[in-house]
Amino acid sequence: MKVLFAGGGTGGHINPALSVADYLRKRDENFEALFVGTKRGLETKLVPAAGYDIKYIDISGFDRKNLLKNFSVAAKLLKANSDCVKIIKEFKPDAIVCTGGYASGPVAIASKKCGVPSLIHEQNVYPGLTVKGAERYVNYVAVSFDETVNQMKKKEKCVVVGNPIREEILTADRKLAREKLGISDDEKFVLVFGGSLGAAKINEAMIAAAPLLAKENVRILFGTGERNYKAVTEALGEVPTNMTVTPYINNMAEVMAAADLAVTRSGAITVSELACLKKPAVLIPSPNVVRNHQEQNAKEFEDANAAVMLKETELCGESLADTVMKIVSDDKRLCEMSKNMAKLAKCDALEKIAELIYKMSKRA
């Protein structure tokens, strides 16, 4: 089977596509994949590193502030649509999977024009403009949350599947992870990270919280992000004995499985992974994202009493330390939050998306 994937810009759009491609590749020796993206996004690194071919198109989003710039954007869109039609005709895919980002729009449009069945996947609670614009052209809109269906016009096309979760996350074992990391049963382990690049506001709050948390019976792993590591360690001075500070967490599946509580951003993939691992969380949404979707994601989990949301306007060393300790010192609350996380988990997204792909390609 041949599948064309479109998506890019951020890891949140690329990694779901890669997870689906890897899932299909493991189960079909004749599987072929081709990715479509732009040369400005992370797909330039992540897709080739995963062993897949990629073709690039030139496309960007519309500028709501400077409308004059949109003449060139419209011209790029027309050219991108033509390029995508050419790519589809040359590759001859059985199905097309779009996972968001600028590249998904013209690919979805071209899928309709070429008569190739397609789906688009939305990772967040509230759909982005690309997904809303593409819903008329695709066969299915695969969504990650029940609430998303209410935001779509073509509700009959919507299928709730969840977010594609890496298999290493799904198979991670808490007991084995804690044994490997040397964490005893009576220790509370808190994982703090702001993504691979780190999050400056979380780092600042952790620097201020460190002296307060140093007094507590809790072990902390703090991932600063590569670019901020030196500045953070210098600001901390003497690192508390109960804290490990690292620029990058290479064994994320393992430490997430071992943790009692995670303190992190509320990107769609992150919260979905936490749900599958039943991990209570303190979610600190980034305000610097389109349509404030991280806050919407965090609210979904807070409303279910599976997480606590701390907005950046509320974030400081004292508020972070206080929130963390109120949760980890209350075993009953931890257990309740973990159960509520499990209720939100959709751990079979890869299977469900694969079923839709096979159905579209008439190989079900």
Same domain, yes or no: 76 and 172: no
Question: Across all residues in the chain, what is the average pLDDT?
Answer: 92
Both tokens assigned to 289? 């994202």
Find the domain containing 261 and state its range: 168-344
**CATH number assigned to the domain comprising residue 213:** 3.40.50.2000
Query: What pLDDT sits at residue 16?
Result: 93
Mean pLDDT of 227-237: 94
Tell me how many degrees the CA angle 15-20-21 measures, rounded to the nearest 5: 95
Same domain, yes or no: 160 and 179: no
Percent of the chain exceeding pLDDT 90 equals 81
How many CB atoms are closer than 10 A to CB 187?
14
**Cα separation of 267 and 202, whole Å?**
14
Query: What pLDDT sits at residue 363?
Result: 57
Query: What pLDDT sits at residue 364?
Result: 44
Number of domains in the chain: 2
Per the model's pLDDT, the better-predicted residue between 129 and 155 turns out to be 155
Same domain, yes or no: 325 and 206: yes
Q: Could you tell me which of 218, 213, 317, 206 has the C-alpha nearest to residue 264?
A: 206
Mean pLDDT of 92-107: 95
Query: What pLDDT sits at residue 41?
Result: 86
Q: Could you tell me which of 173, 175, 183 has the C-alpha nearest to residue 219?
A: 183
Whether the predicted pLDDT of 68 surpasses 80: no
Same domain, yes or no: 227 and 284: yes
Query: What pLDDT sits at residue 67?
Result: 44
Three-class secondary structure assignment of the chain: CEEEEECCCCHHHHHHHHHHHHHHHHHCCCCEEEEEECCCCCHHHHHHHCCCEEEECCCCCCCCCCHHHHHHHHHHHHHHHHHHHHHHHHHCCCEEEECCCCCHHHHHHHHHHHCCCEEEEECCCCCCHHHHHHCCCCCEEEECCHHHHCCCCCHHHEEECCCCCCHHHHCCCHHHHHHHHCCCCCCCEEEEECCCCCCHHHHHHHHHHHHHHCCCCCEEEEECCHHHHHHHHHHHCCCCCCEEEECCCCCHHHHHHHCCEEEECCCHHHHHHHHHCCCCEEECCCCCCHHHHHHHHHHHHHHCCCEEECCHHHCCHHHHHHHHHHHHCCHHHHHHHHHHHHHHCCCCHHHHHHHHHHHHCCCC
Could you tell me the pTM of the whole model? 0.84
Same domain, yes or no: 228 and 195: yes
Mean pLDDT of 155-160: 97
Same domain, yes or no: 67 and 140: yes
Same domain, yes or no: 156 and 240: no
Please write the tens of the pLDDT for every residue from 13-42.
899 999 999 999 999 999 999 999 999 888
Whether the predicted pLDDT of 319 surpasses 70: yes
**Cα separation of 177 and 195, whole Å?**
21
Whether the predicted pLDDT of 359 surpasses 60: yes
Same domain, yes or no: 111 and 248: no
Query: What pLDDT sits at residue 9?
Result: 83
Both tokens assigned to 88? 């589809």
Percent of the chain exceeding pLDDT 70 equals 95
Whether the predicted pLDDT of 66 surpasses 90: no
Please write the tens of the pLDDT for every residue from 295-309.
999 999 999 999 999
Query: What pLDDT sits at residue 105?
Result: 93
Same domain, yes or no: 298 and 149: no
Query: What pLDDT sits at residue 61?
Result: 59
Same domain, yes or no: 199 and 319: yes
Same domain, yes or no: 143 and 224: no
Please write the tens of the pLDDT for every residue from 181-190.
999 999 999 9
Same domain, yes or no: 356 and 208: no
